[in-house]
Chains A and B, each alone.
Chain A
């Protein structure tokens, strides 16, 4: 059974960085991409980017270019997302999700990590 377990909630000050991790189990980690999606309070879903664990190739949403980094560690089956220069607009629940290459869709999701940016 596929499981994605994310790290716990974070509170950060404006200008700081946050790193969220996502540990995968129940499948061959290197065979599927990991996407990151965020959801501001009461708002819809926003795709942030994704990474292919087998080669580390990334692709980011245009509005986050230069502020986001995504990495994977295939020895621990863990994906991570770091977002820098945080503002209050970055307050959101952050999700990791497995990318099904046949469906080109997100077939399993982590439980979400609330990141609060507040002075």
Chain B
């Protein structure tokens, strides 16, 4: 189980966003990913292996963490960053699991 917090984050453009993803047990950081989803769109891969940016992802997005606790940081929010963010983990016995999502909304 992946638990994301907070459920909603209200921030202004230019501010820093810090999103948390906590696993119910220690997981491999090699299989931890983050996605961004905007209304009416498919999700987009941002981060894989906990801290590697996917192709074309701006460097204001960064991922960190290990064990049970993982963080997605957005250093300076741009207008296009207001969206829902999901963490995801892969386990060989149970496949992929998503967190319930964190909505980053305009304050």
Question: Do A and B associate with each other?
Answer: yes
* Number of A-B pairs, beta carbon distance below 8 Å: 65
Name A106's closest neighbour in chain B (CB-CB). B45
* CA A38 to CA B88, docked complex, whole Å: 14
Cβ of A44 and Cβ of B96 under 8 Å apart? no
B94-A107 in contact (CB<8A): no
A107-B54, A109-B42, A110-B42 are known contacts. Are A47 and B95 too (CB-CB below 8 A)?
A: yes
Main secondary structure of the interface of A (DSSP, over half): strand
Tell whether, in the assembled complex, residue A59 and residue B95 are in contact, meaning their CB atoms are under 8 Å apart.
yes
Task: Determine the interface band of chain B, counting residues with CB < 8 A from chain A.
Answer: 20 to 34
Q: Tell me whether A105 and B101 are in contact in the complex, defined as CB-CB below 8 angstroms, given that A44-B86, A95-B42 are known contacts.
A: no
Is the C-beta of A92 less than 8 angstroms from some C-beta in chain B?
no
Chain B window 38-64, contacts with chain A (Cβ cutoff 8 Å), 1 for yes, 0 for no: 000011110011001011000000000
**B43:A105 contact, CB within 8 angstroms:** no
- Measured CB to CB, the nearest residue on chain A to B97 is A47
Minimum C-beta distance from B98 to chain A (A): 4
Chain B residues, CB < 8 A from A29: none
Which of A49, A95, A109 is B95 in contact with, Cβ under 8 Å? A49
CB B93 to nearest CB in A, in angstroms, measures 10
* A61 closest partner in B (C-beta): B95
A44 lies within 8 A of B100 (CB): yes
Residues from chain A with a CB closer than 8 A to the CB of B37 are 45
Query: Considering the chains assembled together, what is the distance between the CA atoms of A104 and B94 in angstroms?
Result: 14
Q: Can you show 17 pairs from A to B with CB atoms below 8 A apart? A: A44-B86, A44-B98, A44-B99, A45-B43, A45-B88, A47-B95, A47-B96, A61-B95, A95-B43, A100-B45, A100-B48, A104-B31, A105-B88, A106-B33, A107-B45, A109-B42, A109-B44
Task: Knowing that A104-B48, A104-B49 touch, tell me 19 more A-B residue pairs with CB under 8 angstroms.
Answer: A44-B101, A45-B35, A46-B98, A47-B97, A47-B98, A50-B95, A50-B96, A61-B95, A95-B43, A97-B42, A97-B43, A103-B52, A104-B30, A104-B31, A105-B54, A106-B35, A106-B45, A107-B45, A107-B48
